[in-house]
């Protein structure tokens, strides 16, 4: 049974960096078939895929155009987890953030999310 456990602050100051971590149990961040994603949800933007990281002989990352200049998703193989960093946040980045597993991913396929973290409400406010 795969479990994803999110951690990170629920309040971030505008212009600062949002940082979240997702610890994986029951699978490996270095899986050759899965990809590890971040998705957020807000009333104004609905569900929004932010990006992913995955390992296929080397590490890859893909990001949504809307956040590409501000986002980094990194794996941490020593702790079997991955992280999200979103720079220069504004109140529009206020959302519930989820980490997810895409079990059947490839370079040309972002497929489906079979496991989700518990969600973290991140509020951007001074």
| Dist. CA 116–CA 30, nearest whole Å | 18
Angle at alpha carbon of residue 5, lines to 89 and 125, rounded to 5°: 25
Among 74, 76, 85, 119, binds other proteins (CB under 8 A): 119
The string over 18-27, giving b where at least 16 C-beta atoms fall within 10 Å of a residue's C-beta and e elsewhere, is: bbbbbbbeeb
CB of 5 to other proteins, least distance (A): 12
Which region among 15-23, 71-79, 83-91, 111-119 touches other proteins (by CB under 8 A)?
111-119
Among 49, 54, 55, 82, binds other proteins (CB under 8 A): 49
Residues numbered 64-93 forming contacts with other proteins, rule: CB under 8 A: 64-65
| Dist. CA 126–CA 107, nearest whole Å | 39
CB of 17 to other proteins, least distance (A): 23
| Shorter beta-carbon distance to other proteins: residue 16 or 116 | 116
């Amino acid at each position: 049974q795969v479990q994803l456990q999110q951690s990170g602050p629920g309040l971030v100051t505008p212009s600062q960096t949002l940082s979240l971590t997702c610890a994986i149990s029951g699978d490996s961040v270095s899986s050759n078939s899965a990809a590890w994603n971040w998705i957020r949800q807000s009333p104004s933007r609905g569900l929004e895929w932010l990006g992913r990281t995955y390992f296929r002989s080397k590490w890859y990352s893909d990001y949504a155009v809307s956040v590409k200049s501000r986002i980094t998703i990194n794996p941490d193989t020593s702790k079997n987890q991955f992280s999200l960093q979103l720079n220069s946040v504004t109140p529009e980045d206020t959302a519930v953030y989820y980490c997810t597993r895409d079990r059947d991913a490839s370079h040309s396929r972002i497929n489906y999310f079979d496991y989700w973290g518990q969600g973290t409400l991140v509020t951007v406010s001074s």
